[in-house]
Structure 1
């Protein structure tokens, strides 16, 4: 089974973390929360869902994992100011391993400069940011471009999770 990193910090979109993680675990995949400080408890922005950071981003490498989940909310914007988080995301996308991006997750992909020439989707308030970063924005539930699987919002979670699970089983 696969080992999935979830890069996360405070104010993540609760359902964009909890629902994919539950589905991954039910399918037998291991999930590791990667954040800025090992042992830190971060909380979701709406329901205050707690998540414990299992590993600091400075203590992991892409080779430790098979896929990366980037939940939305304010977490990606907060993470994009940390050079180690940005580097980890950049290396992950460049590795060719699956990267699952939902809602505001493209913010850290933009900072990592890895979406130029790619197709993806995200939350409506960052459409212009995605385009300015050189990507083609596509307004649909799930966009798959190579190793990058993206969705727009919590309402897209069922098809997003289905696409992520398919990528993990291939």
Structure 2
């Protein structure tokens, strides 16, 4: 994605995009981070920079995972979607980075089905987390304390439920990387929480 004209921080975010992802879960977060002045790169998990979502929307990533050092990013995000999540889970580089981040207290964000990845790696035992309703049992079966909140922040782990909570997730990431005031400025700018009147 284009780097914001004015950066609010030198912190950087990598959003890992695999074929079959839920595109809104990735792009809503990227959008609000851009508005907050946070550099965010779409990193393609696969051989091509072109990635096609579960809804057959194709977009161009900034870099390929094979050419990227994820440890150089301050925060890594895993969007959900099917088969996007299994495609992320099938990448050794992804699972190695998920494990490294949660074991070294570096931030990891996951939404929808994607929280099942750290759960299945045995990394959520005793941690608060949420996921798409279809994946909550996976988290519980692997020892997570599950929640139905839109976004759950447990230390360096931030999880969310699905496409409709992606903006909430992005705002939570802004609060995590910057502060509440920065998130509030973006809320105002995107007219967050307004209601239609008939």
Q: How many Å apart are 1:123 and its aligned residue?
A: 0.5
Matched, 1:4 2:4: no
Aligned to 2:187: none
Where structure 2 has 5 or more consecutive residues not aligned to the other structure, the ranges are 1-8, 180-198
Runs of 4+ in 1 over 4 A off after TM superposition: none
CA distance in 2, matches of 1:55, 1:130: 29
Matched, 1:70 2:82: no
- For the aligned residue pairs, the C-alpha RMSD in angstroms reads 1.9
Q: How many Å apart are 1:27 and its aligned residue?
A: 1.4
Matched, 1:145 2:118: no
With over 3 angstroms needed to count, the CA separation of the structure-2 counterparts of 1:112 and 1:51, relative to structure 1, is farther
TM-score (normalised: structure 2): 0.78
Q: How many residues align?
A: 169
Query: Is the CA contact (8 Å cut-off) linking 1:8 and 1:76 kept in structure 2?
Result: no
CA distance in 2, matches of 1:11, 1:138: 26
Q: How many Å apart are 1:22 and its aligned residue?
A: 1.0
With over 3 angstroms needed to count, the CA separation of the structure-2 counterparts of 1:38 and 1:145, relative to structure 1, is same
TM-score (normalised: structure 1): 0.89
Aligned counterparts, 1:1-170, within 5 A? 1=9, 2-37=11-46, 39-46=48-55, 48-52=57-61, 54-57=63-66, 59-62=68-71, 64-74=72-82, 75-169=84-178
Where structure 1 has 5 or more consecutive residues not aligned to the other structure, the ranges are none
CA distance in 1, matches of 2:91, 2:56: 25
